[in-house]
């Protein structure tokens, strides 16, 4: 069954769009040309640099030991690749935090502008497309890899403001893309059935009868997968309702200094909801590219659920000899690694529609940060870490590189999808071609 006839079959069933979104990814309805494993990309961002001594493995090669920050990723060590020695050499206007996040995926200089950073020249938005959007556009241009959204941008505790410190994805020059950090809004975008937050109506109830009717026409494996998708959505809806109740009764918004950024105490629950929605979207083949942005560059998140009441950015500026600050930063960075570990786990728990392996096998996750180290604002040794598979990279390694431009790493991601670009971002920084990770 080709793509056009498959779509025609689904339309002939007379189902609403929300029901079709569940059925779209079922294996027996896939075209023959779509039988090969789907390649996917997730880019996860956490801010304010890392603790190099607690992050980078000492050894290079396959025989390496994970440091404290990376311990939550131990179950996925054989599918992990750390890349020490990848630098952001884009330069140009803007402070290092600005250039760190807004040049991170674009690999291009910021436009000149009037947004003043910390003691540096003012700047504006990035001057080019980000690699996630570049890859999404490539996939959308091909019939066999085209999806409903192309990409989805998830956020967790990203403040409601628009500036180069809050944006890492760009549709093009001067075209920042805002992440959605409200699971209610993301669920509405994905399934289009929510009327309002206060009266959450099950998106499945509206189409239950239709889905039951269609299930009689499906093979057993499709029925099982359909039930799995329906179950996951109900879990997500239940979590959204519970979080709404807790947010309005248990954790009311306190009156604080308006200049202090506060991360809601429900952030851990929101994070898991967003990750579940992300995995669900990939499972339904709504998109094959996604970003997951935690907070923002220069963010003053106060992670009280970790026993940390200090602002994250302020802590990141403390000297290395400040043991109290180092201990708190270790907790923070380890928490981010734990959320990444949960994402890996959810992908491993989700079988491929083809029945061969799981989604983690064919999904490459890249964990990124805008700085290599917070208290010196370095743009060298950015903690790029890859997990998963599907792009032909040799995983289960710790690589010590010598000053590789991060443009070449972004090119390698594109080439892994079959998008053989000859350069990306600043042209001169793409010399040498894509980084060889095979």
Q: What is the pLDDT of residues 239-269, one digit of tens each?
A: 666 555 544 433 232 232 334 333 568 899 8
Is 434 exposed, middle or buried (CB count within 10 Å of its CB: 0-12, 13-18, 19+)?
buried
Lowest mean pLDDT, pick from 83-97, 328-342, 350-364: 350-364
If you average pLDDT over residues 403-407, what whole number do you get? 97
What is the share, in percent, of the chain residues with pLDDT greater than 90?
Answer: 65
What is the DSSP code string of 261-290? ----TTHHHHHHHHHHHHHHHHHTTSEEEE
Phi then psi dihedrals of residue 165, to 5 deg: -85, -15
- How many residues are listed for the chain in this entry? 438
Q: Read off the DSSP letter of residue 156.
A: E
Helices (H), 179-297: 183-191, 208-215, 220-249, 267-283
Q: At what angle do helices 267-283 and 323-349 cross, to 10 degrees?
A: 30
**Confidence category of residue 14, pLDDT binned at 50, 70, 90:** low
Q: What is the pLDDT of residues 27-51, one digit of tens each?
A: 444 443 355 789 999 999 999 999 9
d(CA 433, CA 436) in angstroms, rounded, equals 9
d(CA 342, CA 336) in angstroms, rounded, equals 10
> Per-residue pLDDT for 209 more than 50?
yes
List 156's β-bridge partners, or say none. 294
pLDDT of residue 223: 75
Residue, of 170 and 248, whose pLDDT is higher: 170
Question: Is the Cα dihedral 336, 337, 343, 349 positive or negative?
Answer: negative
Lowest mean pLDDT, pick from 27-31, 186-190, 208-212: 27-31
> Per-residue pLDDT for 119 more than 80?
no
Question: Is the Cα dihedral 389, 365, 140, 285 positive or negative?
Answer: positive
Cα→Cα distances 305→18, 37, 178, 269, 329, Å: 36, 39, 26, 11, 14
Residue, of 234 and 400, whose pLDDT is higher: 400
pLDDT of residue 45: 98
Conformation bin of residue 418: beta by default, left when phi > 0, alpha when psi is -120 to 50 = left
Terminal CA-CA length for the chain: 35
What is the DSSP code string of 40-86? EEEEEE--S-B-HHHHS-SS-BSS----GGGGGGGGGGGGEEEEEEE
pLDDT of residue 205: 58
pLDDT of residue 233: 65
Lowest mean pLDDT, pick from 205-214, 373-382, 418-427: 205-214
Is 73 exposed, middle or buried (CB count within 10 Å of its CB: 0-12, 13-18, 19+)?
buried
Q: What is the pLDDT of residues 295-350, one digit of tens each?
A: 999 989 999 999 999 999 999 999 999 999 999 999 999 999 999 999 999 999 99
d(CA 184, CA 14) in angstroms, rounded, equals 27
pLDDT of residue 33: 38
Structure tokens at 167: 């944006």
Closest CA to 189 of 199, 198, 179: 179
Kind and range of the H or E run holding 154: strand 150-156
User: Domains of the chain: which residue ranges?
Assistant: 3-430
What is the share, in percent, of the chain residues with pLDDT greater than 70?
Answer: 79
If you average pLDDT over residues 218-236, what whole number do you get? 72
d(CA 421, CA 134) in angstroms, rounded, equals 10
Most confident range (mean pLDDT) of 197-211, 279-293, 411-425 is 411-425
What is the DSSP code string of 331-351? HHHHHHHHHHHHHHHHHHHSB
Longest CA–CA separation in the chain, Å: 68
Kindly tell me the number of DSSP H helices and DSSP E strands found in the chain: 12, 9
Report whether CATH 3.40.1190.20 matches the domain 3-430. Answer: no
Closest CA to 359 of 339, 387, 378: 387
If you average pLDDT over residues 7-17, what whole number do you get? 51
Give the angle 155-159-163 at the CA atoms, nearest 5°: 100
């Amino acid at each position: 069954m080709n793509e056009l006839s498959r779509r025609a079959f689904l339309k002939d069933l007379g189902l609403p769009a929300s029901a079709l979104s569940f059925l779209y990814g079922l294996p027996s309805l896939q075209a023959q040309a779509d039988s090969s494993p789907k390649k996917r990309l997730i880019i996860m961002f956490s801010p304010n640099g890392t603790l190099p001594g607690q992050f980078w493995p000492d050894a290079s090669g396959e025989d390496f030991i994970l440091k404290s920050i990376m311990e939550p990723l131990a179950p996925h060590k054989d599918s992990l690749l750390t890349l020490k020695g990848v630098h952001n050499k884009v330069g140009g206007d803007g402070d290092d935090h600005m250039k760190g996040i807004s040049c991170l995926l674009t690999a291009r200089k910021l436009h000149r502008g009037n947004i003043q950073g910390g003691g540096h020249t003012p700047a504006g938005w990035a001057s080019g497309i980000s690699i996630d959007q570049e890859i999404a556009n490539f996939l959308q241009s091909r019939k066999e890899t085209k999806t409903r959204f192309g990409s989805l941008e998830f956020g967790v505790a990203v403040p409601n403001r628009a500036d180069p410190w809050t944006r890492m994805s760009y549709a093009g020059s001067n075209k920042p893309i805002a992440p959605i950090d409200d699971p209610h809004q993301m669920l509405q975008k994905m399934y289009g059935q929510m009327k309002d937050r206060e009266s959450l109506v099950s998106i499945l109830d509206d189409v239950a009868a239709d889905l039951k009717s269609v299930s009689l026409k499906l093979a057993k494996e499709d029925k099982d997968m359909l039930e799995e998708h329906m179950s996951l959505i109900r879990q997500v809806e239940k979590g959204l309702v519970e979080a709404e109740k807790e947010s309005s009764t248990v954790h009311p918004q306190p009156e604080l200094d308006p200049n202090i950024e506060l991360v809601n105490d429900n952030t851990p629950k929101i994070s898991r909801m967003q990750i579940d929605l992300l995995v669900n979207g990939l499972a339904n083949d709504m998109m094959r590219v996604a970003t997951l942005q935690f907070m923002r560059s220069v963010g003053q998140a106060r992670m009280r659920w970790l026993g940390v009441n200090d602002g994250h950015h302020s802590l990141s500026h403390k000297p290395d000899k400040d043991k109290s600050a180092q201990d708190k930063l270790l907790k923070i960075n380890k928490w981010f690694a734990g959320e990444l570990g949960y994402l890996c786990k959810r992908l491993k728990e989700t079988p491929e529609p083809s029945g061969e392996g799981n989604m983690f096998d064919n999904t490459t996750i890249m964990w990124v940060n805008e700085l290599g180290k917070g208290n010196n604002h370095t743009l060298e040794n950015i903690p790029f870490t890859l997990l998963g598979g599907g792009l032909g990279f040799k995983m289960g390694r710790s690589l010590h590189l010598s000053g590789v431009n991060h443009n070449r790493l972004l090119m390698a991601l594109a080439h892994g999808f079959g998008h053989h670009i000859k350069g990306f971002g600043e042209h001169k920084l793409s010399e040498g071609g894509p980084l060889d990770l095979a």
